[in-house]
Structure 1
């Protein structure tokens, strides 16, 4: 019974049979032709090599023991000049030594004489699956290379010895390299930036139990033009979690950084230009309220107080915009010191307690005994917790309670400000740290605010390499939890 061609032979594979026995050649040609293969035969190694030079064959079946040119010689020639051709050796005496030697020299498989048609079909179909897998790998590599070369981001991969496996044109352009082929070169031979080299070293040194992405911001001057890149480097792992190398990605953020700087400069300029006349206006209104410009009636005083309150709210908005601009410019990073958080939170409690008492709100402080100082900007820490406690008071009804708790958790100081106030809906939680966003419902519509406070809080905490989380249930209250690193590297 004839076996139909397998799915692996999507095209009629070319097969060459080289054997000095006519019956073997004829039998192979008949069996394989019935299975849809194109089969050619050669009576000896010399003619077989001539045929190989003239035409490509997907599979070659060659007898090891032939006069003049042996199957070993044919195998060596094929492996040298046609590495993608699969060679199956035919062993006349079924000796294991010959088969092992042929496999060492690059043969895919062997078939001993005498063999049945089914054995022949099986070994040929097995080789076809192998060649199909090799072709799939080659196609995948070709597609991957084309994809990498078309990326605008720079991508480079290395092996464990820091030899370059792949580097697309964008990566080479970003680092200012325009030399010879880089594949196989050591990364230090083409990369001069120490941050990239250090990131690769860190990625390679990661144990199998940890995995993280090393991120850096690079400033590289090329052709008298400074470029700013976001650099991300991570280890490349195998199935057994062992490091196979690294992958490094560079993303050009020059335009983004320039826009952010322009935005910060604009906010700073406008804020300064607006705040000075507002302060002057507030002083003039105060002079009028105090009667320095003549007697003021109660109604006029009420109107002046409302106007002063609106201007003061606008002045607070400008101040918070300036603070945000200052944080984004990185100015606070050079103004840090050891801050006693127990003393700071105690001062915050004492300062806000009278304001809470006006609404009959109690404020409790629950701190663990082992809270150490942290390296931070004290003024910013005051701003963070003053903002959170003020919000808790503003967004709580009368007779509510507020709890400030603090403890160490792993390598972080964890401080939570919890209230039993109005709470927030789930859709508000996703936007609460967005600039100018304010929760608007029947409980909050009469509460004054800029919508910048929590955005400022988040910016300050992130500039200290910390994080903030919020949990809230409408009608049951809100908890803001701040995590600040105990030690800064």
Structure 2
């Protein structure tokens, strides 16, 4: 017993004695038989009362201690939730009444801006989001919903949240409020996704390179890419994509991927040779969940396909060599007949001769194209390069093709802000390239349409672009555009004459100039083919080369 207990017992005894003294006429009466029994009863009652009061005080103190500890536990729980979770309170209709600071920071909002708005704003599809509606149905049944969901922050970035949503029910069984506790699983989700993709990509036969779009520093390379580049896995973080091939030039590469950055294209491709491997590198632009912009380049081994194409070209080349001599003879004979040297023919005969002459000319173009491809393949095509002013050069090429445009009732316009633009080119070969682009644009333009030719400076390259307002080229046909003998089905259904060799030859000619030929297109709105030619290191060109154009040649190149 404590001192308080003893003090209480003493006070009780005094109270009993005083009461007995007053009621029994002094101490003598207290110790009489009946009074002694009464006194004992009084004493026991007082003791019991005192013990009851003492016990009550003990219970009150114990309850106070329990309440204090519970309060501490609640405070600790609240602090833990605020430190590690996102808490959101809403009413029964999903209108936000309160959020903690973690929630506001994670989703990129101010707490005051969230109050009074619908929680659906953090779901991908808003009020129509299937998970949002599933949670709503679960809460209506008075049940707790838990699971993982992909949500969005204020800047549109993705968040992968594990959510527990608890309905608060009043005494009448009505859903009045909702408490939602979220934990961020984004890092774990990204790590799992990255691990899965890494396992998938590591063992691909294609070489895969992923690198930063700004610095070009490597982020990932699969096992085949690391091996073919001569790298070690531990060295990857110190490498850039330029280190993958000693022949690669950073300026040329940035020009190559510029259409991706500008949004002109979704993929750019280029043919490469690495040792005995003949391949194609396709590059795309990708933005990660964290907002980092990356390039993804895939090098695919096309050696077998190229070998098959080469065998086919060699066979056709042999036939072409055999055809060229008799076709030239036939062409000469037809010209002789058309000249009237052997007499005059009636209109019907002249018409037949004209058709025969045109078809012979077309066959010779096909044969010449095949032979050109074969020469370029074996490295026997001559490129006598000299410094040429592209402004004057393009004006002359446009003039050359004006007659072909007039035949199709199509105008050709040339525009440039440049007064001069010197480049080292093989003029005759580049005439072939630009004439091919112009003839294709004219053929695909509407009657009374306009083909636009432009010359501009694009990141250390002169860019010559040829645009039309024709049917355009679907993206699914991109890989076939520069293939030999490729003749795509036009989106408007019209058939246009061509050999299917013009763009294949043009690509090889441009590649021989260390340039790039490519295109952008939107179905129904036309296409723009462009050629990027390197700007010489020195723009102070002392010698200006003139070139002669054979007016009798007509449209140089084949389509």
TM-score, normalised on structure 1?
0.47
Greater helix percent: which structure?
Answer: 2
The structure with more radius of gyration:
2
